[in-house]
Structures are given as C-alpha cells and as structure tokens.
Amino acid sequence: MKKLLLTLLAITVITACSTEKKEEVKTEAPVVVEKTSTNLEIVNGWIRPSSKGTNTAFFFDAVNGTDLDDTLLTVESDIAEVVQVHETYQADKGMMGMREVKGVAIPKGTTVNFKPRGLHIMLIKLKHDVKTGEEYKLKLNFAKNGSLEITAPVKDMLMKQTMGEHKH
Amino acid sequence: MKKILIPIALIFTFISCQEKFPILDSWGSKNYNLVNQDGDKVIFPHALKGKVSLVTYIFTNCPDICPLTTNNMRLIQERMKKEGINHVDLYSISFDPEVDTPPVLKKFAEMRDLNLSNWQFLTGDKKEIDDLIHQIGVFAVKGDSTVFEDGKTIYYYVHTDRISLVDKEGKIRKNYPGSTTNIDEVINDLKDFNE
C-alpha cells in the first residue's frame, strides 16, 4: 500500500511539473521546392474576404519552371486603391509586424510561397466588399518573364488549410 | 504512514493545478470603459467576472495575423459548442480604436459570419485601450504606413500575437500564440479550468 501511494505521489508531482509553454512563434520563410512546370505560373491563389475601406491580402505560389531567375516587382488590382508586396515578420518580444518589400526573387526551378505569416500581396483600402465565393483578376509583373494575369477566388482559409494546400 | 501520504498527495494535486494555470497578470482594481460592436457599454474587466474568458487583441486593418487569430477564436468557439463547454465567453479588443469603431467591428464580424452569441468585439478611447493592453504586457506599436492621395494615412501595427485565458476574477492564467494557437490545447485547458 505504501509503495502504491508513493507511486501515485510521484505521478502527481510529475504531472504538476509538465505545464506546456508554447508562446514561441517564428515567421516562416518562403519554401523553395523542385520545379513542377516549364513556365512561370501562379497557382493556389486566394484572397481573404474583407470589407470596403479596409485591407486584405492575396496569397499564392509562384512556380518558376523557366531557365531564368526572376523577380516579382509589382502587382495590380482594380479592387484596391493601393497594392503592395508585403511580408509578415517576427519582431521583439514575440510581436508580429508587416512591412513592404521591393521585389521578391523567384529563382529558376523553384516555387516561392506567398502565404499567411509570410510574404503576401497587400490589397489596401478596398473599393468594395470582397466576399467569400467571389473571384477577382490580378496582374503580376515580373522583371524577366513579363506580366501574368490570373483570377483568384475569395476564401477565408485557416492556417492548417493553407499549409495543406502547399504540399508539392 | 497512509494517513500522512494521502494529504500530501492531495496538496500536490492542488499545487499541480496552480502550476498549470498560475496567475500571470491582471488589470488589478482598474476598470476600463469600452463599447462593443453594437455600441453597448462594457466595463472591462468587470464584465468578465463570473465566467472564464478568452481575450484577444486585434486591429481590423491587419491583413494577415489578426484574421488568423480571429479564425482560431472561431474554431475554439465551434469546438466549445460541440463539446458542451458553456462556461466561457470570447472577447476581441481592438488596439486601433480610431479606425475600429463599433460599426467597423460589426462589419468585420459580419463579413466573416461570426457567431456573436458569446463573443464581443470591444473598442474605446485610445488612451483607455493603450492603458488596458500595456497593463498586461500586450504591445501594439505603429509601424509602416500608407499615405493616400487625399492625405489620409493608415498604419500597420507591430503587435503582440496572443489569446489570453482569463479566470472568473479577471486574472490572466495562460497565454497562447494567437495566430498559431493549438486548438486542442485550448479546448483541453477549458475542460480543466473553471475557476
């Protein structure tokens, strides 16, 4: 009986000391994977819903299957007053911030992910509500491969879903 | 021997609960005059007392982190409903009250089809909000900005990414990383915690 009670006591103490602390977060860098196309392509594009006058973001994967290192310079869209290339970053004290980046390298034979908690296109001051189920055109301008026009759906994707959709 | 070990085991069990949800912070005796998305007055944290709460800190012009945190709050709310956890209320406090007026917060919730039955979006006077968040170690600092042709400027905050577990006395007992919160962990904590 004494042994049993001592064992129970030990288990209780171990349980008491096993508090998890998961405050640590890191900004994820763009993932570079093997090329899947012989062209420069924009795949898995989606826009987060938001209301008129506010901001939202456009996410996608840029697949550079060409033999040219390229750079995404700018993005154009009719739905926002200003469109900028941004990245989310981790600042001091666990804070998260966001800043404009001038050009994102898309090396040949790689895919660069523009995804939540990382690179994204900021659609600033929306001209109207952007609702789930709608689709909008965007034009991406590259340094060497010219411009690509794509249509992206509006979705309210969760972190897990975006990670799931970035399997290659 | 048996008589001694059993009380010791009980004491350790009590200590283990305290260890798992220690008091991390509080607003002390201070209260703040806030309003919710409907314009109704909310005395914070007085209004939280008597129920366990999850509190997060956001701004609606945030295109990336705050929508993820808001989605996590929604997932937690959905899991709470599924698992019969009904002793918890949710609060999202805007640290950009100059932009996030009650109608803006209401629209933000409507656009995402959020269930506001036990979830309130709060805003208020800028000084009150700044004091409220600084009191518990939440930071929101103006970073990059965009200036429009009409001269108006919008700011992007560098901010703490957090969801706080608040007890029935208004004290913070655990913090989760808002945009990357482990939903299972929160749900398990809520099942254990009803103080």
DSSP calls for A41-79 = EEEEEEE--B-TTS-EEEEEEEEE-SSS-EEEEEEE-TT
Residue B63 scores a pLDDT above 60: yes
Nearest-by-CA chain A residue for B58: A96
Nearest-by-CA chain A residue for B144: A99
Q: Which H or E run includes A10?
A: helix A2-16
Question: Among B68, B154, B159, whose Cβ lies nearest the Cβ of A95?
Answer: B159
Residue (of A33, A107, A41) closest to A68 by Cα position: A107
Cβ-Cβ pairs closer than 8 A, A with B, add up to: 138
Rounded to whole angstroms, the Cα distance separating B149 from B155 reads: 15
Q: Do B159 and A50 make contact, defined as CB atoms within 8 angstroms?
A: no
Q: Do A95 and B8 make contact, defined as CB atoms within 8 angstroms?
A: no
Q: Work out the average pLDDT over B12-33.
A: 80
Q: Do A5 and B2 make contact, defined as CB atoms within 8 angstroms?
A: yes
Rounded to whole angstroms, the Cα distance separating B120 from B60 reads: 14
Least confident of A31-35, B121-125, B178-182: A31-35
- Which ipTM was obtained for this model? 0.82
Residue (of B102, B76, B103, B66) closest to B179 by Cα position: B66
Q: Do B15 and A16 make contact, defined as CB atoms within 8 angstroms?
A: yes
B7 CB-contact burial (10 Å; exposed 0-12 / middle 13-18 / buried 19+)? exposed
Rounded to whole angstroms, the Cα distance separating A50 from A57 reads: 9
Residue B98 scores a pLDDT above 50: yes
Tokens of B79: 């899991």
Rounded to whole angstroms, the Cα distance separating B132 from B160 reads: 14
Residue-by-residue pLDDT tens, chain A, 168 positions: 555 555 555 444 444 433 333 333 333 444 444 444 569 999 999 999 999 999 999 999 999 999 999 999 999 999 999 999 999 999 988 899 999 999 999 999 999 999 999 999 999 999 999 999 999 999 999 999 999 999 999 998 664 555 444 433
Question: Among A16, A23, A50, whose Cβ lies nearest the Cβ of B175?
Answer: A23
* Chain B residues touching A13 at Cβ < 8 A: 12, 16
Please give the pLDDT value at position A27: 38
* Chain B residues touching A24 at Cβ < 8 A: 177
Residue (of B111, B36, B100, B90) closest to B62 by Cα position: B100
CA–CA min distance A164, chain B (Å): 15
Question: What three-state secondary structure class fits A114?
Answer: strand
**Residue B35 backbone dihedrals phi, psi, to 5 degrees:** -130, 150
Nearest-by-CA chain A residue for B103: A51
Q: Do B141 and A125 make contact, defined as CB atoms within 8 angstroms?
A: no
CA–CA min distance A163, chain B (Å): 12
pTM: 0.81
pLDDT per position as a tens digit, B125-138: 999 999 999 999 99
